[in-house]
């Protein structure tokens, strides 16, 4: 795939084509932010036990794997633009479908498949566009700018979503999200497409997953995949149970995003410097330590402080770590192969990990489950440091 460069320097207010993509992503971030953080809470409140909530996310990861390989022939015919456009109807269908799970329980098993298709199209299209458009010399700064823009647009979303849920209903919040995602289609019509390589094959994607030259990148991806599940599902449930109020829960998440927006932009600048390896090691260690402290967190105040501290640490870590991902994608002979392979790898890891969490949730008490999960997340946080050992020029030597 031919990589075309577009310069982004805080481009949200610059290049019209790039601005249209950023605006679309901001709309998606705001719309999804209204409800996505509440989905584990929603499933909990309509009567699903902890192990079934985890099963919902296991199914999302499980469906993604065969669908990822089955959709390879389709991907060869698409561009990053068409992938993003096609993903939005599945986004909308997912949130509408989830809102009816209580009335139609069979949707519990179908919606994860819809979400997997959404993930395949949206994530692959997004990463393809960014890796094609980004200026490699200022990659960290551009990542920081894009993440900051996304955070700024979505930072009030959880608080607003919480108010909508409390004063209206979960279903109303899902409807509003669906409408916003529908509007997000419009700006996507105005940015140029990047074509997928016709050499994309199932064999090449599998080769990217098991590529021994990427073993350290693979380990860091496994750490990210599983720490993310504990943070996005288990911790969110713990946080809600500690706070006990949907509107306060949403407000706290919004405050966290504000902190994240500020830190992320400056983290991007540091990511382009010479100390990025030290920054990755330091923030990975701090994140691990934060997870361990959560095993003794018992009050709402403690949980709230921990949530805010997370967003002081995580942006710096994720910007540096993601920078290495995009560098490998840009230098890979076939970026689509690398991107899709990494996306499938994340899900393979999550299927095994969430399966173990389900077993754990059945066998131990709720408090013990949370404590064990936090320790495990602390261990997986250290896996980010494997990225420092990865040869960043592995594809440049071919």
What is the DSSP code (8-state) at residue 9?
T
Q: What pLDDT, on the 0 to 100 scale, is given for residue 114?
A: 93
Handedness of CA 99, 104, 110, 114 (dihedral sign): negative
Inter-residue long-range contacts of 97-103, CB under 8 Å, 24+ positions, other chains counted: 98/39, 98/42, 98/174, 99/170, 99/171, 99/174, 99/175, 100/171, 101/43, 101/46, 102/46, 102/47
Q: What pLDDT, on the 0 to 100 scale, is given for residue 6?
A: 36
Q: What pLDDT, on the 0 to 100 scale, is given for residue 80?
A: 73
Residues 6 or more apart in contact with residue 9 via CB below 8 angstroms: 135, 138, 141, 142, 145
C-alpha dist (Å) from residue 305 to 160, 239, 260, 375? 21, 11, 14, 18
Domain ranges of the chain: 11-389
What pTM did the predictor assign?
0.83
Cβ burial of 271 (10 Å; 0-12, 13-18, 19+) is: buried
The rounded distance, in Å, linking the Cα atoms of 202 and 189 is 29
Cβ burial of 95 (10 Å; 0-12, 13-18, 19+) is: buried
Q: What pLDDT, on the 0 to 100 scale, is given for residue 7?
A: 36
For the domain bounded by 11-389, which CATH number is listed? 1.20.1250.20
Per DSSP, the three-state class of 59 is helix
Q: Which two tokens stand for residue 378?
A: 């602390």
The region, left, alpha or beta by phi > 0 then psi within -120 to 50, assigned to residue 151 is alpha
The rounded distance, in Å, linking the Cα atoms of 308 and 353 is 26
What is the DSSP code (8-state) at residue 196?
P
From first to last of its 398 residues, what are the pLDDT tens digits of the chain?
Answer: 333 333 333 343 344 555 666 677 777 777 777 777 778 888 988 889 999 999 999 999 999 999 999 988 888 888 777 888 888 888 888 888 888 898 899 999 999 999 999 888 888 777 776 655 555 555 555 665 666 666 666 666 777 777 787 777 777 888 888 888 777 777 766 666 666 667 788 888 898 899 888 899 999 999 999 999 998 889 888 888 887 766 666 766 666 666 655 665 555 455 445 566 788 888 899 999 999 999 988 888 888 888 888 877 887 788 888 878 877 887 888 888 888 888 999 999 999 999 999 999 999 999 999 999 999 999 999 999 998 888 777 776 55
Per DSSP, the three-state class of 333 is coil
């Amino acid at each position: 795939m031919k990589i075309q460069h577009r310069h982004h320097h805080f481009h949200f207010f610059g290049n019209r084509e790039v601005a249209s993509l950023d605006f679309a992503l901001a709309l998606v971030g705001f719309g999804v932010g209204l409800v996505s953080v509440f989905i584990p809470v929603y499933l909990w409140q309509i009567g699903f036990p902890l192990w079934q909530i985890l099963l919902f996310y296991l199914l999302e990861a499980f469906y993604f794997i065969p669908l990822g390989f089955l959709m390879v022939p389709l991907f060869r015919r698409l561009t990053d633009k068409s992938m993003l456009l096609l993903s939005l109807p599945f986004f909308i269908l997912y949130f509408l479908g989830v809102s009816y799970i209580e009335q139609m329980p069979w949707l519990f098993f179908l919606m994860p498949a819809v979400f997997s298709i959404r993930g395949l199209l949206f994530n692959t299209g997004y990463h393809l566009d960014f890796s094609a458009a980004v200026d490699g010399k200022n990659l960290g700064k551009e990542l920081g700018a894009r993440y900051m823009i996304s955070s700024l647009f979505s930072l009030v979303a959880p608080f607003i979503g919480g108010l909508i849920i409390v004063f209206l209903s979960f279903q109303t919040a899902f409807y509003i999200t669906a409408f916003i995602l529908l509007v997000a289609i419009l700006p996507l019509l105005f940015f140029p497409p990047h074509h997928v390589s016709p050499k994309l094959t199932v064999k090449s994607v599998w080769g990217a997953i098991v590529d021994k030259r990427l073993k350290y990148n693979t380990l860091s991806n496994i750490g990210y995949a599983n720490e993310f599940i504990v943070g996005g599902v288990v911790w969110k449930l713990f946080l809600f149970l500690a706070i006990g109020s949907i509107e306060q829960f949403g407000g706290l998440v919004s405050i966290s995003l504000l902190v994240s927006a500020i830190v992320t932009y400056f983290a991007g600048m540091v990511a382009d410097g010479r100390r990025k390896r030290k920054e990755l090691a330091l923030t990975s260690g701090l994140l691990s330590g934060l997870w361990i402290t959560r095993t003794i967190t018992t009050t709402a105040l403690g949980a709230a402080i921990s949530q805010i501290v997370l967003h002081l640490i995580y942006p710096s870590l994720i910007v540096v770590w993601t920078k290495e991902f995009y560098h490998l994608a840009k230098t890979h002979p076939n970026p689509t192969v690398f991107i899709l392979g990494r996306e499938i790898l994340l899900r393979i890891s999550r299927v095994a990990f969430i399966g173990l969490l389900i077993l754990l949730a059945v066998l131990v008490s709720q408090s013990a489950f949370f404590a064990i999960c936090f320790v495990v997340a602390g261990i997986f946080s250290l896996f980010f440091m494997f990225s420092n050992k990865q040869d960043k020029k592995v594809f440049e030597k071919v």
